[in-house]
Amino acid sequence: MMEPSIFDVFGFSSQGWGPLLMASAATTFAVAVCGLLAGGVFGALGCWAKVGGRQPLPALATAYTTVLRGIPELLVIYLFYFGGSAALTRIGTWMGAGGFVGIPGAVAGVLAIGITSGAQLTEVFRGACSAVSRGELEAAVACGMPRLLRLRRILVPLTLRHAMPGIGNVWQMVLKASALISVTGVADLLGRAQVGANATGMPFDFFFAAALLFLLISACTGRALRATERFYARGVRQR
């Protein structure tokens, strides 16, 4: 009996692994995007606490960035997945529910990636906010702009202009960290490649295909981030 060719294994027929790998790549991309968005929320709050918050908010934000930037993402995922499930089970017991209550693996992964990337984005946003010229904000105050209008029209756009390169770096970190959620049982790209490698006895082929898909996602999103960077850099002389 002839062994299947590489095109048969990775094809889109009923016996091929192509649809499963593409679906798992979409799952990985969705988890990474959700993690970055959650990290953006945490990062914005951390930046606000460090730049404009009153004590003890700056100290809490400093502790947050120090701790989360020093802990591996995989450990944070384990803490959210197993610790969150244990906490939900305990709460369910207090409320009269019996049995184990588990937190979904995708939710644990998004929260873990979000809180770790938020620590990185806190420093990215803080540095970008510090790069905004104080004169532009003072001019807005002199024109009588309310605080929310200054935030929407001046501070946020100028902060994003300086922050976009750093956001691009954090996105690459988030995309690679999204491969770790396979430990929670989520059918992401790396987890599906592992299943395919075990089922077919072709580990190199499946992991190489996963690497190519990661590179494809990285290249496409990199172009989108560079376009966004050019959008926020409009009117600025390029050196």
Q: Model confidence over 18-65: pLDDT tens digits?
A: 888 999 999 999 999 999 999 999 999 999 998 877 788 889 999 999
197 vs 9 pLDDT, higher one: 197
How does pLDDT run across 124-159, given as a tens digit for each residue? 999 998 888 888 888 888 888 888 888 888 888 888
pTM of the model: 0.88
Amino acid, res. 1: M
How does pLDDT run across 90-135, given as a tens digit for each residue? 887 787 776 777 788 889 899 999 999 999 999 999 999 888 888 8
Amino acid, res. 184: T
The share of the chain scoring above pLDDT 90, in percent, equals: 41
pLDDT at site 1: 46
Contacts of 160 (CB under 8 A, 6+ apart): 128, 232
pLDDT at site 134: 82
The share of the chain scoring above pLDDT 70, in percent, equals: 93
Please give the Cα distance from 18 to 13 (Å, whole number).
Answer: 8
Please tell me the CATH code under which domain 27-188 is placed. Answer: 1.10.3720.10
Which residue has tokens 């606490």? 49
Compute CA distances 106 → 33, 66, 81, 85, 181, whole Å. 12, 25, 9, 13, 7
Q: What is the mean pLDDT of the chain?
A: 86
Residue 8 has pLDDT above 90, yes or no: no
How would you class 81 by CB atoms within 10 Å of its CB: exposed for 0-12, middle for 13-18, buried for 19 or more? buried
